[in-house]
Amino acid sequence: MPGNLYERPSTDDVAETELTDGDILDAMQHIPGYLDITTEDFRTIYHLAHRHAVERMFGHVKVANLMRLEVEALQPDMSLVEAAKILARSGSTGLPVVDSQGCVIGMLTESDFLRRLKVATFLELLLNLLDDTFEFSHRCHETPVREAMVAPVVTVTKDAGFGATMAAFHQHGGRSMPVVSSDGRLLGLILRKDFHAAYSLDKLL
């Protein structure tokens, strides 16, 4: 079999299990007849088959087909109260923050509000509000978004495929992620649930 048929996967490929010579020799013993190939030949076939399978299963969808385009971005100097109103109106749990050039500089989520209010969940916040002795220690109307947002933020480009998007989502626990152009300008938002639905990941996990 000719050598160097297999090219190392790009950063957008899905990680595969590395086979040891022991794995391969054990597998070959279970195949009837005589196999005139080396363990390296076997490994090359496996690599090529893996890439083909990944492309067949996941290569049909890119971020551009999944992202939501109607995104009302937040401004770094607006107050958290203003940002909260936009978040509530959007129905999203998080929105990107952009500068005057439209470049993504951060992400503000509901979790950031909870952290500012020193509670872990909305249920805990509700219980605090029902407590007559509770007083807000944080003044959201005086705090700009830039002080509460997460930065730098994890983003993907519209051409990102399965591997790159999965890797990006693994870097943070948020439910959404900004989609940006090559120069960092906001193009849209991809939701984790839309990504999972497109690839039927619930059936694979």
Burial of residue 33 (number of CB atoms within 10 Å: 0-12, 13-18, 19+):
exposed
Are both 72 and 173 inside the same structural domain? yes
Q: Within this chain, do residues 45 and 67 fall inside the same structural domain, yes or no?
A: no
Task: State which of 40, 58, 76 marks the end of a domain.
Answer: 58
Per-residue model confidence as pLDDT tens digits over 115-149: 877 777 778 777 877 776 666 555 666 889 999 99
Q: For 160-192, how does the pLDDT look when each residue is reduced to its tens digit (9 = 90+)?
A: 988 889 889 999 888 999 999 999 999 999 999
Positive or negative torsion for Cα 174, 180, 186, 187: negative
Indicate the SS3 state at residue 146. Answer: helix
Give phi and psi for 68, each to the nearest 5.
-95, 130
List, in sequence order, every residue forming a beta bridge with 180; answer none if it has no partner.
Answer: 157, 186
Q: Does residue 205 surpass a pLDDT of 50?
A: no
Shared domain check, 30 and 80: no
**Do both 38 and 88 map to the same domain?**
no
Look up tokens 């300008």; give the residue.
185
Q: Which of 11, 39, 58 is the last residue of a domain?
A: 58
pLDDT digits (tens, 9 = 90+) for 97-118: 999 999 999 999 998 888 877 7
Pairwise CA distance, residues 161 & 106, whole Å: 23
The CATH number for 124's domain is 3.10.580.10
Domain boundary among 24, 41, 58: 58
Say yes or no: 110 and 139 in one domain: yes
Domain that holds residue 82: 63-204
